[in-house]
Amino acid sequence: MSADMQKLIGANEEDDEEEIEMDVKEEDNEDHENGQKHIAAQMMLGADGVMPSTSHQFQIQQQLQEQVSTPGGGARRSRPLEEKERTKLRERHRRAITARILAGLRKHGNYNLRVRADINDVIAALAREAGWVVLPDGTTFPSRSQGSRPAGDSSAGLTSSSSQMLSQQVPPTSLQGVSSGYCASVEYNACHMKGVFMPTPAPYDLSSSGHSQSSGMVGNGGEQTESLPLIAGSMEVINEQIIGLPPKLPERDFAGTPYVPVYVMLPLGVVNMKCELVDPDGLLKQLRVLKSINVDGVMIDCWWGIVEADAPQEYNWNGYRRLFKMVHELKLKLQVVMSFHECGGNVGDDVCIPLPHWVAEIGRSNPDIFFTDREGRRNTECLSWGIDKERVLRGRTAVEVYFDFMRSFRVEFNEFFEDGIISMVEVGLGPCGELRYPSCPVKHGWRYPGIGEFQCYDQYMLKSLMKAAEMRGHSFWARGPDNAGSYSSHPHETGFFCDEGDYDGYYGRFFLNWYSQLLINHGDLVLSLAKLAFEGSCIAAKLPGIHWWYKTSSHAAELTAGFYNPCNRDGYIAIAAMLHKHGAALNFARAELQFLEQREDLQEALANPQGLVWQVLNAAWETCITVVSENAFVCHDRVGYNKILENVKPVNDPDGRHFSSFTYLRLTPLLMERQNFMEFERFVKRMHGEAVLYLQGSQW
């Protein structure tokens, strides 16, 4: 077995000879000290537990020495000493092999293990590299969101050093289309050493061996399972873990899976406030690089606040036209977002693009065109849905303004529609372009995981509420809840959202039905006009993933955002039916959302990302609407990409359903760094259904 281990790891016995001798000496010293203590204890106490006399102590000491030293008469007493010697020999043998294993991991695996490391240190090191969180007391558990915890910031599934090592050791010839079991033993040692100790099977590891190997190391939540011989140091288990593993990557093979187009979202400030293209030469180089790895196209925001900035119905498309021509020449496709909201103040916003100046002027004299909370604070991120049919925007209603903007875009870029360059138009329906109320504004004091506040206190929405209450016959219901807490409240702290709270009473059901129906009516009205403006083209609407407090009965955060989705009602099926009515696709920004379950802050917020994901997807697929997606978090590592792939192409879907396209957020200098771009290239190929095991290093 020693020869096998040296062949596998390639370590020298001399590297750890001093450590082994030190361990043996310590054991001998401990045994000697324990023997002396045992003799002293027997000398101090008699059979009945009382202190013996001095002469009796001398007799006891003589008897003990005879029993230890006499081979014949003390055979029965010396058996424990023989067993102790055999145990010491086994322990020396075990420590020698373990030392060689650790030396090989230090030398060939670049693991920073302490001199007196044990198998628990190995597990901790492997868990950290796999992206897990390892606490000081040794507790280990998966971190589902890279960067969400300090311990997980640097724990990408493959570090830069390990990825470089892999790319250096793979053969120079192409390995595309080759199964993961082809590797010879030498290639297995070089390529798979860091993959054999995955603390738990990754969500994308479908092999039965992956489950059996990891389940004996760490259980869910970091609890140790019954397979503790590995923790205790059993060499049989170590051999089984290292030698007996099949040479398989812990990744799904996406070869032959459906082709899913990949788009890259361009930077928010690619067009400035004068509608001029910023750094066209640099952008052209980046687009060529994207084209070189067969990215299908790019997504771009067309900002209302830039194009119609100065005066009503005066549109400036110059910067966008230059950009679109550049994309057309490279034979890329375009996804365009009609952005009717302001940019700045939200997560990921690195530029400030306000609403048109003339709209801001109207807002100063009539602030009720904006969403308003109970305290009278205005949210200028987008226009209130209360003015969808009110002629308060220089003689036009809000939906007429949106339609005129979309029609101008269609006329300006008609040739790009006819040539099929513009593949999809996503219509902004609220803050961040999403169909929701701006219920969680940071500038008004909201902090995660607050429930947010209802946004229905401008005069136009209150008038709509009064009308609905009178039609119901209860005019005194024409008010918002007065016990719904504040932005950062928790459900149990309020009388409205707590268990058996007012949200499920007669008034609560009336109010929430009116509040959510206004959201659906807004989406229905705007999408009907978008369908008219972009006839023959694919349109889409974006939904948020509000997953906190999903495990409570009220789903408070969803209620304030306009989704009437408590535990006893499906609030997404009506939205899906509305999208189906207009042939619109659903863009659900949740490509990796369901893998956040283990984050401590999500557990405290009684969040359930996975439950929300499947509820929304089931509603979409039941109504037969197209689903597209984008990543909600920055991703540059293989583990994150694999999570996205598993969501976009679900392996267990009985009907073989998958997303129609995926948009990567977003094009940045960090993405264009060599190692990150190599991982992204590999991700694109797998999205396209190509059989790729290793990166070959792009020439760019």
Q: Which residues, including other chains, have CB under 8 Å from residue 99's CB and lie 6 or more apart? A: 15, 16, 19, 20
Q: How confident is the model at residue 39 (pLDDT cuts 50, 70, 90)?
A: very low
Calpha distance 592→612 (Å, rounded): 12
pTM comes to 0.66
The residue written with tokens 């400035």 in the block is 272
Calpha distance 132→146 (Å, rounded): 9
Question: Residue 162: its pLDDT value, please?
Answer: 36
Q: When comparing pLDDT for 231 and 45, which is higher?
A: 45
Start-to-end Cα distance in the chain: 47
Question: Residue 467: its pLDDT value, please?
Answer: 97
Structure tokens at 531: 């369908």
Q: C-alpha angle with apex 142: 249 to 158, nearest 5 degrees?
A: 40
Are 636 and 677 contacting, i.e. CB atoms less than 8 angstroms apart?
no
Are 40 and 50 contacting, i.e. CB atoms less than 8 angstroms apart?
no
pLDDT > 70 fraction of the chain, expressed in percent and rounded: 68
Calpha distance 39→697 (Å, rounded): 69
Q: Which residues, including other chains, have CB under 8 Å from residue 467's CB and lie 6 or more apart? A: none
Residue 606 has what DSSP assignment? T
Phi, psi of 239 (to 5 degrees): -60, -40
The residue written with tokens 């994207």 in the block is 290
Give how far Cα 500 sits from Cα of 284, 417, 512, 634, Å: 58, 52, 15, 39
Q: For residue 346, is pLDDT > 50?
A: yes
Among 308, 381, 434, 597, the active-site one is 434
Residue type, 514: W
Mean pLDDT computed over 547-570: 97
Give how far Cα 144 sits from Cα of 106, 218, 616, 650, Å: 28, 16, 21, 18
Question: Residue 110: its pLDDT value, please?
Answer: 65
Question: Residue 245: its pLDDT value, please?
Answer: 38
**Strongest mean pLDDT among 203-217, 343-357, 467-481:** 467-481
Chain segment 468-498, per-residue pLDDT in tens: 999 999 999 999 999 999 999 999 999 999 9
Mean pLDDT computed over 384-408: 98
* Catalytic residue check, 434: yes
Calpha distance 620→576 (Å, rounded): 5
As a dihedral over the C-alpha atoms of residue 310, residue 313, residue 318, residue 324, rounded to 10 degrees, the angle is 130
Q: C-alpha angle with apex 681: 587 to 616, nearest 5 degrees?
A: 20
pLDDT > 90 fraction of the chain, expressed in percent and rounded: 55
Residue type, 557: A
Q: Which residues, including other chains, have CB under 8 Å from residue 235's CB and lie 6 or more apart? A: 1, 94, 97, 98
Domains located in the chain, CATH noted: 262-688 (3.20.20.80)
Pick from 303, 295, 326, 296: which is nearest to 381 by CA?
A: 303
Chain segment 84-126, per-residue pLDDT in tens: 888 888 888 887 888 778 777 776 766 767 766 777 778 877 8
Question: Residue 105: its pLDDT value, please?
Answer: 78
Lowest mean pLDDT across 122-136, 320-334, 437-451: 122-136
Calpha distance 504→553 (Å, rounded): 10
Chain segment 654-668, per-residue pLDDT in tens: 788 899 999 999 999
Calpha distance 407→413 (Å, rounded): 10
Give how far Cα 563 sits from Cα of 48, 126, 250, 541, Å: 78, 42, 38, 15
Question: Residue 347: its pLDDT value, please?
Answer: 66
Among 308, 630, 646, 679, the active-site one is 630
